Structure 1
Amino acid sequence: MEIHGSNTIGATLAPMLVEGYFHSMGISPVSTRSNGKENEKILTGKRAGTPIRSLVAAHGSSTGFKALYAGHADIWASSRPAKPAEVEQIAGRANLNDADSEHVIAIDGLAILVHPSNPVNQLSIETLGKIFSGQIRNWSEVGGTNKAISLYARDDRSGTWDTFKSLVLGKQFALDSSAQRYESNDQLSDDVSRDPTGIGFAGLASVRDSKVLAISDGNAPALKPDQLTVASEDYPLARRLFMYTAGDSAPQQARDFIEFVLGSEGQAIVSESGFISQNPIAVKPDFDTGVPDTFRRLTQNFERLTVNVRFSEGRTKLDNKARRDLLRIADYLKREKLSADDLMLIGFADLQSNELRAQMISELRALSVRKALEDLAINNVAYTGYGHYMPVGSAGGNNGQQRNGRVEIWVQRR
């Protein structure tokens, strides 16, 4: 089995998942070694005397697609969604947008890193764009000391770079030519932690000795990446980590491995690696001062599960991750000995032309999740809508609609 692609996934997480999968098959011990090439690892073991081998090559998300397309990879690890051109290119073999091919294996927060001595604690996405494009060049312009800013960024083959480019730079900004570029998240973070003037970005698992900033988007409150904000994808720079396979034509071992990764055992390894697991847990949110009293009263006897349901098309079609998350919620209820009566669904809408329209959309979203839960024999779950209030991102556009248009899952405290 060969896994090619993202350094974010391949540096530590993918080898840990492969080792866990081998152990689940009764393969022990498992040996991990370099094959002599940078950012590549080979894991080996024996099962009933038969050698088992897996290669993890972590050279960037785009390299993984090329390997999958060329037939050199069984699994493409990617820290960004498949691009439309990639979906079209491989359409004759598989639909990368289909649940049989697209697998969300973990949630990551794109951490904005500075030196531990930096007095700046939070920035907006727009300010980040100005910093990394060179429009803001001195820390004193954003509340820091009078020192020139040094930029650290991932390289062009990286899905982390693609995510940063999409969420922060967009079409408005271009990366300043002074930025130092890296293939490795860990090396970037280590260099930032040694540079009092530095700022960079990396996956959440690579924070290491750097300081993490809180980030705001539009009028939404600034959030630091943590268990709840990242798992729910409320954090503005949260992102999904993917593994792609060639649908039904994928080798059986690759399909079995993906099923292991998506299950509770694989997700426990995700958490152990420093990324955010998709296994739901209940958390009492730390509300900021902007949360309305009506919402506080609505949720006062509840805790929030670390999962949001989001939608792929229109207002009510659940995306691939959401369908899997509902199975995880069903497992959570069984494990915690809870019932449908203990759940509450709260739907939200992106900014609409009037409150009534926003309320209707938010309720329809919650209702669609309620109906999907009924297919899992979880019946008559309480639901409500909260309109377009309490946004987690800037309003409008594809990103705003997807992030603000969500259903939160709340569970009653016993």
Structure 2
Amino acid sequence: MIRTFLGAAVFAALGFLGLSSAALAQDVTLTSRDGGITLHGTLLGFDGEFYRVDTPYGPLVLDGQGVRCTGAGCPDLADYVAEFTFAGAPALGEVLLPALVEAYATRRGLLLRRVVSSDSDFRIDLLDEATRQPLARIGFRISSTAEGFADLIAEEADIVMAMREVRPHEARLAAEAGLGDLADPARARIVALDALVPVTARGNPVTAMTVPELAAYLTGETTDWGPQAAPVSLHLPDDHNGLAQVISDQLLHGQALKPASARHLRDADLVDRVAADPLALGVTRLSELGNAVPIALTGGCGMALPLDRRTLKTGDYPFSAPLLLYTSSQKLPLFAREFLAFLSTPAAQVVIRKAGFVDRGREVIALNDQGLRLANALRGADGGAPLNEVQSMLNDLNGAQRLTYAFRFRPGAEVLDVHSAGDLADLARALESGVFDGRELILVGFAEGGADWQTAQRASLKRAEQMRALVLRAAFAADKSRFRLRVAGYGPAMPMACDDTDWGTRVNRRVEVWLR
């Protein structure tokens, strides 16, 4: 029977890459290594590891190591070449991912060959150093985030390079095409972190502004530089640039950007124009500051929003622009899966930093290095947590260090946002590999202000307990006797932003990870 297929058969209706459409239409015969079982069918795909075959029993997925393939449609295993294509945002495709592919090839002792088709399309071949035979062909289609999702849905690409999260209509079309639920956080992977930054030219006297003031410029409600009444020359990303959509989502609650603005398809062009004009104002990415000068942001209540490597990793800076890869539920070639796994390694984080982005590497932050946070705690004591509760929190966390993991849920949902989902996966891997053996991890919940202290404290504790359950479930292979995981909740005791906005509430409502 098929269930005795040497334990090598894995049954699922999954799609595979790596064969031309001409090869996919041919019949094959798969025989178990001991010759006891034979299965006839039409080969639907082969990824270098698994066969997918249409049989009288329906589509079956069979482990290639457990069977022998005969017939005209069988791939040549010795000459198999993994093929997969990235499509979407230039921020990922022009420099960052090719640099990561090069690092991965070096790690495996492979040679690279770049084949350019046009200004926006190229391919990187990875070759065996001894035989010069290709092992993988990795395509890149540089366009925009929206076009990357369109290419995935049209089966013209396998992985989307995105500067924003998938839109509901894109997820719906993908589901209708049999690609699974792209809105599932498991389908997204953060490669690097970036942020939205308002910029101007050197010499402009404006060095800081509130978020509402910036929003007024972006919508055209304000057109002059303050008292001097000099007109603002506004520069923004083009609508085809995924950054424009991120700006609208995060800074304008979905409102449209000012239609009369000077728009730029490339971020580098935007910052060059801003840097050359003392009256210019623009919004770009932290990784693309160029010669422009960043403007510091504050909340409407005057609370500063510091932007640095650590505040991006912890999500304490609210206007992040992570660079994402989206994959469908269809199975990628083994080579592609191994490359995606490489992106989480320390070696990949070094490449990401050298490319000018903020990496995902775990860091620790001592309590005495958190001066602004502590100042916010004391400043908010009258309107937030009582001073004695702030003191109790500081005593409880004394001697502990904050990790750059932080967890936040999507608004109105019990699902982690994409940044937090990545942190959860990283923390689970660390627990399973014994990184925190013999240590105590504290999941510390915080809440926004507005409610009475006791209500906010209970809500923050409940959120921390919820995260403990998620962490233990994710780290299912960890030896839980080798570390301690406890929870605490301190309500609004350490605010990171003003509570008078949705984004401020989102930043403050969090679960941090502390290590003792």
Shorter-chain TM range is: 0.7 to 0.9
Q: Output the CA distance in 1 between the equivalents of 2:350 and 2:491.
A: 35
Q: Is residue 2:401 matched to residue 1:307?
A: no
Q: Is residue 2:261 matched to residue 1:179?
A: yes
Q: Output the CA distance in 2 between the equivalents of 1:280 and 1:208.
A: 27
Q: Output the CA distance in 2 between the equivalents of 1:94 and 1:336.
A: 33
Contact 2:196 2:285 in 1 (8 A): yes
Q: Is residue 2:270 matched to residue 1:188?
A: yes
Q: Output the CA distance in 2 between the equivalents of 1:316 and 1:184.
A: 36
Q: Is residue 2:297 matched to residue 1:211?
A: no
One-letter code aligned to 1:238: S
User: 3-state SS of the aligned residue for 1:103?
Assistant: strand
- The one-character-per-residue Cα deviations of 1:294-325 (angstroms, maximum 9, x if unpaired) are 35554443332222122247676545554542
Contact 1:76 1:245 in 2 (8 A): yes
Contact 2:377 2:493 in 1 (8 A): no
Query: Post-superposition shift, 1:111?
Result: 1.7
- The equivalent position to 1:201 in structure 2, one of 263, 283, 293, is 283
Contact 1:350 1:396 in 2 (8 A): no
Contact 2:318 2:503 in 1 (8 A): no
Query: Post-superposition shift, 1:335?
Result: 9.1
Contact 1:19 1:43 in 2 (8 A): no
Partner of 1:111: 197
Query: Post-superposition shift, 1:223?
Result: 1.9
User: 3-state SS of the aligned residue for 1:403?
Assistant: helix
Contact 1:96 1:102 in 2 (8 A): yes
Aligned Cα root-mean-square deviation (Å): 2.9
Contact 1:151 1:198 in 2 (8 A): yes
* Structure 1 residues without counterparts, runs of 5 or longer: none
Partner of 1:259: 341
- The equivalent position to 2:492 in structure 1, one of 377, 382, 388, is 388
- The one-character-per-residue Cα deviations of 1:308-349 (angstroms, maximum 9, x if unpaired) are 122247676545554542453366679996546343321112
Partner of 1:371: 469
Partner of 1:120: 206
User: 3-state SS of the aligned residue for 2:248?
Assistant: helix
Partner of 1:84: 168
- The equivalent position to 1:287 in structure 2, one of 365, 372, 380, is 372
Q: Output the CA distance in 2 between the equivalents of 1:100 and 1:57.
A: 23
In structure 2, relative to structure 1, the CA distance for the partners of 1:121 and 1:205 (3 Å cut) is: same
User: 3-state SS of the aligned residue for 1:290?
Assistant: helix
Partner of 2:125: 44
Q: Which moved more, 1:250-259 or 1:176-185?
A: 250-259
* Structure 2 residues without counterparts, runs of 5 or longer: 1-83, 379-389
Q: Is residue 2:464 matched to residue 1:360?
A: no
User: 3-state SS of the aligned residue for 1:236?
Assistant: coil
Partner of 1:273: 355
Partner of 1:66: 150
Partner of 1:95: 181
Contact 1:43 1:53 in 2 (8 A): yes
In structure 2, relative to structure 1, the CA distance for the partners of 1:372 and 1:58 (3 Å cut) is: same
Q: Is residue 2:95 matched to residue 1:12?
A: yes
In structure 2, relative to structure 1, the CA distance for the partners of 1:196 and 1:57 (3 Å cut) is: farther
Q: Output the CA distance in 2 between the equivalents of 1:402 and 1:66.
A: 30
In structure 2, relative to structure 1, the CA distance for the partners of 1:317 and 1:68 (3 Å cut) is: closer
User: 3-state SS of the aligned residue for 1:57?
Assistant: strand
Query: Post-superposition shift, 1:71?
Result: 1.0
One-letter code aligned to 1:151: L
- Number of residue pairs the alignment of both structures matches: 406
Q: Output the CA distance in 1 between the equivalents of 2:501 and 2:258.
A: 26
User: 3-state SS of the aligned residue for 1:195?
Assistant: coil
Query: Post-superposition shift, 1:401?
Result: 5.1
Higher relative contact order at CA 8 Å, sep ≥6: structure 1 or structure 2? 1
Contact 2:198 2:281 in 1 (8 A): yes
One-letter code aligned to 1:406: R
> What does 1:403-414 align with in structure 2 at a 5 Å threshold?
403-412=507-516
Q: Percent of pairs identical after alignment?
A: 26
- The one-character-per-residue Cα deviations of 1:71-98 (angstroms, maximum 9, x if unpaired) are 1111101111101111111112221123
Q: What TM-score do the two structures reach when normalised by structure 2?
A: 0.71
Q: Output the CA distance in 1 between the equivalents of 2:293 and 2:266.
A: 18
Q: Output the CA distance in 1 between the equivalents of 2:233 and 2:512.
A: 39
Q: Output the CA distance in 2 between the equivalents of 1:359 and 1:275.
A: 36
Q: What TM-score do the two structures reach when normalised by structure 1?
A: 0.87
Q: Output the CA distance in 2 between the equivalents of 1:332 and 1:219.
A: 38
Q: Output the CA distance in 1 between the equivalents of 2:117 and 2:335.
A: 22
Contact 2:304 2:497 in 1 (8 A): no
In structure 2, relative to structure 1, the CA distance for the partners of 1:372 and 1:133 (3 Å cut) is: closer
Q: Output the CA distance in 2 between the equivalents of 1:14 and 1:41.
A: 12
In structure 2, relative to structure 1, the CA distance for the partners of 1:386 and 1:58 (3 Å cut) is: farther
One-letter code aligned to 1:109: A
Contact 2:311 2:317 in 1 (8 A): yes
Partner of 2:243: 160
Q: Output the CA distance in 2 between the equivalents of 1:296 and 1:197.
A: 45
Query: Post-superposition shift, 1:129?
Result: 1.1
- The one-character-per-residue Cα deviations of 1:85-120 (angstroms, maximum 9, x if unpaired) are 111111122211235422222221112211122222
Query: Post-superposition shift, 1:146?
Result: 5.0
- The equivalent position to 2:313 in structure 1, one of 215, 221, 231, is 231
In structure 2, relative to structure 1, the CA distance for the partners of 1:147 and 1:40 (3 Å cut) is: farther
In structure 2, relative to structure 1, the CA distance for the partners of 1:12 and 1:364 (3 Å cut) is: same
